[in-house]
Amino acid sequence: MILLDGKATAQSIRTELKAEVTALTAAKDRAPGLAVILAGQDPASQVYVRNKERACAEIGIASFPHVLPESTSQAELTALIDRLNVDQRVDGILLQLPVPRGLDSRVLLERIDPGKDVDGFHPQNMGRLALGLPGFAPCTPAGVIELLRRFDLPTQGKTAVVVGRSNIVGRPLSIMLSQPGRFGDATVTLCHSRTHDLAGVCRGADFLFSAIGRPKFITCDMIKPGAVVVDVGINRTEDGLVGDCDFEVLCASASAMTPVPGGIGPMTIAMLLKNTVQAFKEHTAA
Ligand code: NAP
């Protein structure tokens, strides 16, 4: 079985990006900049934001943190986004989700300039993704596709099953897998909690992608022998972080599989950095 090592792959991507950022910073006389907005005290969000800031620093992206209290209002966040939209040092704006209770994240995400939407959540970027036009793709599904590309596991002509239809993972991943290309061109089934005979549907998959949020939900009877299994799930349990897939059991049947942790998590951060560098290039193009 091939271990789809996202940690090592993400490290290679960061090394490539660091060289690119060093050259671009010298040529353009400023570094790429990422503004990170964290409102509230969610412990997991604090860890994610810290990891993103550390990753930025490592490759030479300037980060502009905005840590705000739980009591921050919709109007205050809107005003902050408006300021960041016109701040010339800022190429990307990241609003860490979830936002505090009572705030409307959908409206806030729509407020972000689509040209600075490095998370790829703005409806304009989602629409462009669906139409196959250039734009910012959401980082987690982009990380999945990039991992397949780096391990040269083409999905072209294959059967792909995605379990989970969220707007940030499952749905955009299903769109990317169905677009033309060597790492697209799959025959895609998108599953969710109302799917009938989920195990049977999953068993038909050459490529199985899980983005559910339930520890060890995908079991041996749900995969085709030789399938490629990509586990996006990150679940906190008493035994630490586990994925949606029972790795120890599935790895005996899968031909390739991601670990959790060390799979799609680091790839997601690498794609955020990549999108930020892309935004910088667009903002500084002569
Ligand atoms: P989400 O918004 O909660 O969506 C979960 C999806 O799973 C929903 O579409 C839901 O179906 C489906 N689902 C839940 N129970 C199911 C069941 N019993 N059978 C079939 N489908 C079921 O979650 P998300 O934000 O997409 O995240 C999913 C997982 O990925 C989480 O563990 C999260 O922590 C992880 N994640 C990881 C990264 C990363 O960087 N690696 C990034 C983002 C998320 P319905 O729509 O019918 O409710």
The atom of ligand 1 lying closest to the CA of 165 is 9
User: Measuring from atom 30 of ligand 1, which residue has the nearest CA?
Assistant: 233
Helix residue ranges, H only, 60-122: 74-86, 105-111
Q: How many CB atoms lie within 10 A of CB 130?
A: 15
On the question of a cis peptide bond just before residue 261, with omega within 30 degrees of 0, the verdict is yes
Predicted pLDDT at 183 = 98
Cβ neighbors of 207 (< 8 A, separation 6 or more) are 148, 153, 155, 158, 159, 160, 161, 177, 186, 227, 228, 230
pLDDT digits (tens, 9 = 90+) for 91-120: 999 999 999 999 999 999 999 999 999 999
CA of 262 to the centre of ligand 1 (A): 18
The atom of ligand 1 lying closest to the CA of 243 is 32
Predicted pLDDT at 251 = 82
* Whether the Cβ atoms of residue 142 and residue 176 lie closer than 8 Å to each other: yes
Q: What lines the ligand 1 site, CB under 6 Å?
A: 140, 163-166, 168-170, 191-195, 198, 211-214, 232-235, 264-265, 268
Q: Is 158 known to be catalytic?
A: no
Q: How many CB atoms lie within 10 A of CB 114?
A: 16
Rounded CA separation 8/12 (Å): 6
Q: What share of the chain is helix, strand, coil (3-state, %, to 5)?
A: 45, 15, 40
User: Measuring from atom 31 of ligand 1, which residue has the nearest CA?
Assistant: 213
Radius of gyration, CA atoms only, the chain = 19
Q: Which of 91, 116, 117, 119 is catalytic?
A: 119
Predicted pLDDT at 131 = 98
Q: Is 88 known to be catalytic?
A: no
Predicted pLDDT at 64 = 97
Cβ neighbors of 21 (< 8 A, separation 6 or more) are 31, 32, 59, 60, 61, 277
Q: Is 221 known to be catalytic?
A: no
SS3 205: coil
Residues lower than pLDDT 50 in the chain = none
Q: In order of start, what are the domains of the chain with their CATH numbers?
A: 29-113 (3.40.50.10860), 139-265 (3.40.50.720)
* Whether the Cβ atoms of residue 178 and residue 184 lie closer than 8 Å to each other: yes
Predicted pLDDT at 140 = 98
Predicted pLDDT at 198 = 98
